[in-house]
Structure 1
Amino acid sequence: MRLSTVILPIHRWGEGQKVWQHAEDLGFHTAYTYDHLSWRTFRDGPWFGAVPTLTAAATATQSMRLGTLVTSPNFRHPVTLAKDLITLDDVSGGRITLGIGAGGNGFDATTLRRGDEEPWTPRERADHFDEFVPLLDRLLREPSVTHEGRFYDANEARNIPGCLQRPRIPFAVAATGPRGMRLAARHGQAWVTTGDPKLFEDGTPEQSVAAISGQLSRFGAACEEVGRDVAALDKILLTGFTPGDPLRSLDAFVDFAGTHFDLGFTEIVVHRPEPDSVFDVDTKVFERIATEALSQLT
């Protein structure tokens, strides 16, 4: 089991540098950040770009892995994203993981649309994702890519020298539906879930565990369908969106992590505390979780 964190891109770098370095000092395996144009209750406050933030974090840290959780086609194009990711992988010395998902209905889905354009429907997001992921996979592996697709084109897109990590940076694919799970099974080195969103407000922890267990079973079936061993892929749970409060104490988190470790998860991700937000938790408890929780699971 590995323990990682999400650091929201809300800090000016004079403060942000210390935040990322502190995460490394606490021993987190990976520090991710959200790749959004803005996000929910943070819309009217500071919110910086994910790729520049991770580039700066790469120069301020030594060994901790870094990544997005998640990037989506809502405002990204695979050709330009591939160039940014290859550069970021190089600057970090090969420490980048790309968390990637189909996206949702938030500000990412509307900011670049004309006033009379509707955001993509769930089916349209899935359609874009179906083309986006395989094309990005090729762009990060091959020195020159030409692609004429339904949504994306690439005309001799050059990506030399490619990623430091070979054959490319790892993909952690967020998915709960069958199409997304097949993409995760075919192209991912990890699968990501936040649980069942329908249970977040009114469900119980027991119902959530049952729902997540069902997701794991369906992901296993998707892996079998494409001929991959599900045991060879990491399973990542991003916390903060399931019933209960596992960050209320060290013991509560150890119980939560142990339950999900038994289900088959290999990595659990917790949000860095941010005052006056949905991620406002006791900093001392958070630091105890970071430094003590894994030793109590072994």
Structure 2
Amino acid sequence: MRLSTVILPTRRWTEGGGRRWLRAEELGFHAAYTYDHLAWRNLRDRTWFGAVPTLAAAAAATRSIRLGTLVASPNFRHPVPFAKELMSLDDLSGGRVTLGLGAGANGFDATALGQAPWPPRERAARFEEFTELLDRLLREPVVSYDGSFYRAHEARNLPGCLQRPRLPFAMAATGPRGMRLAARYGQAWVTLGDPRLPDGDEERFHATLVEQVRNLDKALAEQGRAARDIERILLTGFTGGDPLRSVDAFVDFAGRRAELGFTEIVVHWPVEDSVFAADERTFERIASRAPAQLAGLGGGDARAARPHDPAGPDERRPR
């Protein structure tokens, strides 16, 4: 069981923003992610910086921690320029980038470019095509593509990712269509449970995760993949109670998720006056102490030590 964090881009780099990424590495987090949004919910009118420049700065400042989005979506992205940015991030970080991908939602990002929000069926179709094209762009040196929503003409992505055959995808999915996409393209699967549930309803939250894990395993089997072929990431902070209230509470929370095969728990770095407000001293104690108590948990022998890569282990190494 690994412990990671989300650092929201709510501070200037020179006014504490950069320090948080360095501190995350000092505390031993497996990965530090950020949201790929133009604005987010009740933080819309507060400081908010871009994900890609923030991750580039973090890549230059850190040495070992993995970095990534949790998650990027098609809301304001096109696969061709985004693939170039991702390849560059992978190079800057020395092969430490994980791309969290999701379909997005009808929030501020969905209309920022002046378009009407996409109906659910179109949003799902766009996400599928977005992922398919992005996968090709990050694997192949030259790509032409003519889809219903996205096109590419001799798009070049040289020299390619350091991680081979491309950087890993962590696919956010809860429904059947998303699960099939995660099973096809994902080296990891991301869920936050069901945010519609009342916060603190532990049993319904756990039952939701049980059902989602079962559906993922079914989708993997349909793709001819084993359960161990994909990492399982739980993003906390939306439902499931308050695991950050103490070290013991977090260990209990994470241990129960490990029994379901989750391999990584992600906690939000505290953001004052927000849904992610928490005591930062307790947060750091959890980061320092919980991993040792959780060592060895997380899927037993059914989990792989590294993300699955159909190209085989020799091609996973950075060039």
TM-score over 0.5 for the pair: yes
Q: Deviations over 1:107-134 (max 9, x none)?
A: 01011124xxx30111111010110101
Match of 1:287 in 2: 284
Identity of matched residues, %? 66
Q: Do residues 276 (structure 1) and 273 (structure 2) align?
A: yes
Cα deviation for residue 244 of structure 1 reads 1.2
Q: Do residues 36 (structure 1) and 34 (structure 2) align?
A: no
Match of 2:12 in 1: 12
Deviation larger for 288-297 or 135-144: 288-297
Cα deviation for residue 264 of structure 1 reads 0.6
Q: Do residues 124 (structure 1) and 105 (structure 2) align?
A: no
Cα deviation for residue 231 of structure 1 reads 1.3
Match of 1:151 in 2: 149
Mapped to 2, the partners of 1:145 and 1:35 lie a distance apart of 25
Cα deviation for residue 296 of structure 1 reads 1.4
The alpha-carbon distance between structure 1 residues 161 and 200, as it changes in their structure 2 partners (threshold 3 A), is farther
Match of 1:80 in 2: 81
Mapped to 1, the partners of 2:280 and 2:92 lie a distance apart of 30
TM-score by length of 2: 0.91
Contact kept in structure 2, 1:113 and 1:119, CA below 8 Å: no
Match of 1:50 in 2: 51
Q: How many residues were matched structurally?
A: 294
Match of 1:99 in 2: 100
Matches within 5 A, 1:210-221: 210-221=207-218
Mapped to 2, the partners of 1:297 and 1:31 lie a distance apart of 19
Letter in 2 for 1:157: A
Contact kept in structure 2, 1:200 and 1:241, CA below 8 Å: no
Cα deviation for residue 197 of structure 1 reads 1.9
Tell me, what secondary structure is at the counterpart of 1:197?
coil
Contact kept in structure 2, 1:240 and 1:271, CA below 8 Å: yes
Mapped to 1, the partners of 2:100 and 2:170 lie a distance apart of 5
TM-score by length of 1: 0.97
Letter in 1 for 2:231: D
What 5-or-longer segments of structure 1 have no aligned partner? none
Mapped to 2, the partners of 1:286 and 1:150 lie a distance apart of 45
Q: Deviations over 1:56-111 (max 9, x none)?
A: 00011010000000000011000010000000100111000000000001001011
Q: Do residues 206 (structure 1) and 203 (structure 2) align?
A: yes
Match of 2:61 in 1: 60
Match of 1:187 in 2: 185
Mapped to 1, the partners of 2:206 and 2:101 lie a distance apart of 23
Cα deviation for residue 277 of structure 1 reads 1.1
Contact kept in structure 2, 1:39 and 1:106, CA below 8 Å: yes
Q: Paired residue for 2:172, among 174, 178, 181?
A: 174
Letter in 1 for 2:247: L
Cα deviation for residue 297 of structure 1 reads 2.2
Cα deviation for residue 180 of structure 1 reads 0.8
Letter in 2 for 1:127: A
Moved over 4 A (4+): none
Tell me, what secondary structure is at the counterpart of 2:214?
helix
Tell me, what secondary structure is at the counterpart of 2:196?
helix
